Structure 1
Amino acid sequence: MIYIHWLVLLVYLFVIIATMIKILMDNRQPVKTLLWLLVLCFVPVAGIILYFFFGQNTRKEHLISQRSLDQLTKRNMLEFAEQRNMRFPEEYRALMRLYANQNMALPFKDNEVEIYTSGYEFFPALLEEIGRARHHIHLLSYIFADDALGNLIADALIDKAGQGVEVRIIYDDVGNWKVRTAFYERMRDAGIDVHAFMPVKFPAFTSKVNYRNHRKLCIVDGRVGFIGGMNIALRYVKGTRRQGWRDTHLKLTGGAVYALQRAFLVDWYFVDRTLITSRKYYPKLNPAAENNCLAQVVTSSPVSPWPEIMQGYVRILLQARRYVYIETPYFLPTEPILFALRTAAVAGVDVRLMVPLRGDSKLMEWASRSYVSEVIEAGVKVYFYQAAFNHSKLLVCDDSLSSCGSTNVDFRSFEHNFESNIFFYDEGMALRMKRMFLKDQADCITVAEFLDKWKYPFVKRLWESLVRLLSPLL
């Protein structure tokens, strides 16, 4: 029997050493590599399980063949080529090329945008467009909850499916672990095509539990699209503005809807293996007025060659001339983002960062505080939003560029999640986003007020610095 113990120990040591070699060969950031090596050394057995679930690097995996991706992009390319009188802003040509080259994100003009800052505004607009649908509804949501609001949306979709409208839904499997299967089966029974994104079924696919589809997209008849930070859940409309959630979601008409459609259909091919490329999903648009409101819909994922949205944020920060304003519910920046924030602030750019005073996750809140202290030292102006939980993800720069979507300024969004943001190269949109930021700023307290109010003790600061060590894994 004693030999069995030695055999088990040898097998365990072999697994540990093989895993360590694999981590080293991934050539990740040294800090993240070292952290995983320490976890494997000092957390026996549990370290292997944690790495299996949360640590594997999928950046080089190809979940969709290039040939299929080219077919899904072909229609987008044709619609892009048909545009006339496009004017590209000289200062953002390199950024636009970056997104086009790495993400096949093509810029589209003639966009009209409505901005919603609460669920009370967004969900009636969504239901109205669902009611107008005549051909198809494509919906992707990280959370599609089985609550009063979720059932209201489900009923509206079931009604449209009964009218012969094609309805396709993607929801994230992990994001909806608490949702009963019967909720989705009711929609399937009504003729709706519903798929879970990367379902986690033990023992298969468990290593993918850390890579989730965090996008929030909806396209109706190829003519109207929605993108932003709101999931389908009652929490977005419960309470008042000062007690509930503050978020940002956009309704789009114009050329950018083609890009939203492509983003959804790429994900649909991943979950259903069906190539949808027909022209009827890209109808000829008749914008209310021709304009040069340029927009790019950019997606990022843990299986793309590069972290596209993170690269874009870095470039925006480093080339900003006057200001960059950012809202994010979670602030656990990667090293490139942290470097760019500090560099921009030290260079004299007015960098403002807005985070919630109180988050929905204590661990995330604790971990973010030490990063907040670090950027403050470089001159970044940090504001704590106290009117509600601010779940908004937006960026505005130099009255000329703005962005909104699902991407948080944290490791998970930049490296682990499937995300989507829309980037506008338009003064009018930038000014609208800027006014929204400044309105939110009026509901904030400054860092000085925060420190004075809460009498920040040494023990608490030490705890936050310790929790920060886990931020690459959160």
Structure 2
Amino acid sequence: MGWAMEHVWAVIGWLYIPTTALIGLTIVLEKRHPTRTIAWLLVLTFVPVVGFLLYLLFGRHMRKRRAIRSKEDLDFSALKEKSEKSPGSWDHPLVRRLARIGVNAAGAPVTTNNRVCFFTDGETLFRAMLDDLRSASHHIHLAYYIVRHDGLGTAIQEILLERARSGVEVRLLFDHVGSVWLSRRFRRALQAGGVELAVFLPVTFPLISRRLNFRYHRKITVVDGRIGYLGGFNIGDEYLGKHPRMGFWRDTHLRVEGEAVHSLQALFQADWAFASGRTFDGEAYFPAISAPVGTTAMQLIASGPDSPFPSIEHATLAMIGAAGRRLWIATPYLVPDEAVLMALKSAAIAGVDVRILLPSFPDHRLVFYASMSYVAELLAAGVRIYRYRKGFLHAKVVLADDVVASVGTANLDSRSFELNFEANFYLYDREAAAAIARQFEADFAESEEVDLYRFHARPLREHVVESFARLFSPLM
């Protein structure tokens, strides 16, 4: 028996060594950031079994594999067709720089005939959104990371079925991992009622697939090509503040009317074609907007593993680097790469009022503790950190000076910048920036500012847990 076991372990060893070597070579050839390459190699070396499983689940990058390349072609052809407008010659260099990044890196048109409304709580947002859904006369397009079969999900389901019975085209796209618990009963009822469904990059058991990395994190609603929504809210009761542990859900979402809705529609069109294999087109989906709607200039920048450039990270770095007076950021997850971390510290050292608003408790513990591991060095550089106390902060907002603000789906972490499919609206409008600044000030009043001395004086176990979590931050 002992002889047999020795041979079993010998075979396992012989299989492990070439397999690990092959994975290590693959990681090196993928030309990742050196920090991430070294992190994965260390994990494979010191915790080989766990590291092997983690790599199969989350590590395989392969940004330009065939399926993702086909989506890149769809995204950029759809957006570039509607990119006739140039950035214009606005008076602030940050506006010109950001607009050019969007046009050159993401094929994103700048539009000026828009009206924008901000929402920061789920009750108000979904009251308005459900009213807009009920008013749809031609089509409803929804694309979300999370859709739940609960009170809110059922309310939306009933509206979609009613509109479909009235002859309205209804399409719902959802991410397979984010909406993994969405019941078959919910989906079958929609399909039986005439609603078209598509699942983004489905992952099959046992989840050992590189597709697990490439998640659809966008939250898009388009009604009749005239009204659009984008932001951080998914579809579920917790976004109405009904989760017993999370409490009040503080997020930011935009309702848009005007030319910018066509950008949202074009993005949904590409995402839908990729996920479903079906397409739609025609003037009814991009209706002419001849009358003045509003004066907000804005640009939709989308990025993901299908993009030739991490466009949202480029835009974020441009905002950080060009801010001269203040840079205020709200994010639920703060796991920056070296470029973003250095830019934040440099801005604070240069005298910019850099503030970062974070949650005070986790929804995902490992990411939360990794986020906390960056707090001390940012505080030491002069960045002011606030922890939101009224509920759970999930907003993804950046304000630079009083001229530019971004609102969307991307967190301040590498997963949003490189692996997930994300979309942010960039608002080139002083009134919009002032409204966002007022909301920041209200949020700071509901938050506790982190003191560096007290942060260092916390129990040793918290520092140890955060240091351990940070080791995995290049892999997140």
Q: 1:450 to 1:262 in 2, by over 3 A?
A: farther
Residue 376 of structure 2 is aligned to residue 370 of structure 1: no
- Of the candidates 435, 449, 456, which is equivalent to residue 458 of structure 2? 456
Q: CA deviation at 1:462?
A: 2.6
Q: CA deviation at 1:86?
A: 5.7
Match of residue 173 from structure 2: 170
Residue 45 of structure 2 is aligned to residue 41 of structure 1: yes
- Structure 1 distance, partners of 2:212, 2:238, is 24
Quick check: 198-207 or 236-245, which moved more? 236-245
Q: CA deviation at 1:361?
A: 2.2
Residue 70 of structure 2 is aligned to residue 64 of structure 1: yes
- Give the match's secondary structure for 1:295: strand
Match of residue 73 from structure 1: 79
- Structure 1 distance, partners of 2:88, 2:104, is 19
Q: CA deviation at 1:367?
A: 1.5
- Structure 1 distance, partners of 2:63, 2:318, is 21
Match of residue 263 from structure 2: 259
- Give the match's secondary structure for 2:254: strand
Q: CA deviation at 1:11?
A: 2.9
Match of residue 225 from structure 2: 222
Runs of 5+ in structure 1 lacking a partner? Answer: none
Which residues in structure 2 correspond to 1:282-321 (within 5 Å)?
A: 282-289=286-293, 291=295, 293-321=296-324
Q: 1:163 to 1:383 in 2, by over 3 A?
A: same
Which residues in structure 2 correspond to 1:345-424 (within 5 Å)?
A: 345-424=348-427
Which residues in structure 2 correspond to 1:114-153 (within 5 Å)?
A: 114-153=117-156
Which residues in structure 2 correspond to 1:241-256 (within 5 Å)?
A: 243-256=247-260
- Give the match's secondary structure for 1:395: strand
Letter of the 1:21 partner, please give it.
Answer: L
- Give the match's secondary structure for 1:274: coil
Letter of the 2:319 partner, please give it.
Answer: I
Q: How many residues matched?
A: 468
Q: CA deviation at 1:272?
A: 1.4
TM-score, length basis structure 1: 0.93
Q: CA deviation at 1:307?
A: 1.3
- Structure 2 distance, partners of 1:450, 1:222, is 52
Residue 448 of structure 2 is aligned to residue 472 of structure 1: no
Quick check: 390-399 or 300-309, which moved more? 300-309
Quick check: 199-208 or 259-268, which moved more? 199-208
Q: CA deviation at 1:94?
A: 2.4
1:329-381 CA-to-partner distances (Å, cap 9, x unmatched) read 11111111101100111111111110011121222222111201111111001
1:145-173 CA-to-partner distances (Å, cap 9, x unmatched) read 01011000011011101111111111111
- Structure 2 distance, partners of 1:287, 1:216, is 28
Match of residue 438 from structure 2: 435
Q: CA deviation at 1:134?
A: 0.6
1:420-473 CA-to-partner distances (Å, cap 9, x unmatched) read 110011111111111111111110111129938x96123321321121111222
Quick check: 281-290 or 235-244, which moved more? 235-244
- Structure 1 distance, partners of 2:222, 2:290, is 16
- Give the match's secondary structure for 1:231: coil
Q: 1:461 to 1:94 in 2, by over 3 A?
A: same
- Structure 2 distance, partners of 1:64, 1:382, is 41
- Structure 2 distance, partners of 1:450, 1:404, is 33
Quick check: 32-41 or 272-281, which moved more? 272-281
Q: CA deviation at 1:43?
A: 2.1
- Structure 1 distance, partners of 2:281, 2:208, is 29
Quick check: 48-57 or 337-346, which moved more? 48-57
- Give the match's secondary structure for 2:16: helix
Would you say the 8 A contact 1:355–1:385 is kept in 2?
yes
Would you say the 8 A contact 2:76–2:106 is kept in 1?
no
Would you say the 8 A contact 1:325–1:395 is kept in 2?
yes
Q: CA deviation at 1:42?
A: 2.0
Letter of the 2:409 partner, please give it.
Answer: S
- Give the match's secondary structure for 1:213: coil
Q: CA deviation at 1:129?
A: 0.6
Q: 1:86 to 1:337 in 2, by over 3 A?
A: closer
Would you say the 8 A contact 2:335–2:473 is kept in 1?
yes
Q: 1:45 to 1:464 in 2, by over 3 A?
A: closer
Residue 47 of structure 2 is aligned to residue 25 of structure 1: no
Match of residue 14 from structure 1: 18
Would you say the 8 A contact 1:111–1:287 is kept in 2?
no
Would you say the 8 A contact 2:359–2:387 is kept in 1?
yes
Runs of 5+ in structure 2 lacking a partner? Answer: none
- Give the match's secondary structure for 1:113: strand
- Give the match's secondary structure for 2:395: coil
Residue 187 of structure 2 is aligned to residue 180 of structure 1: no
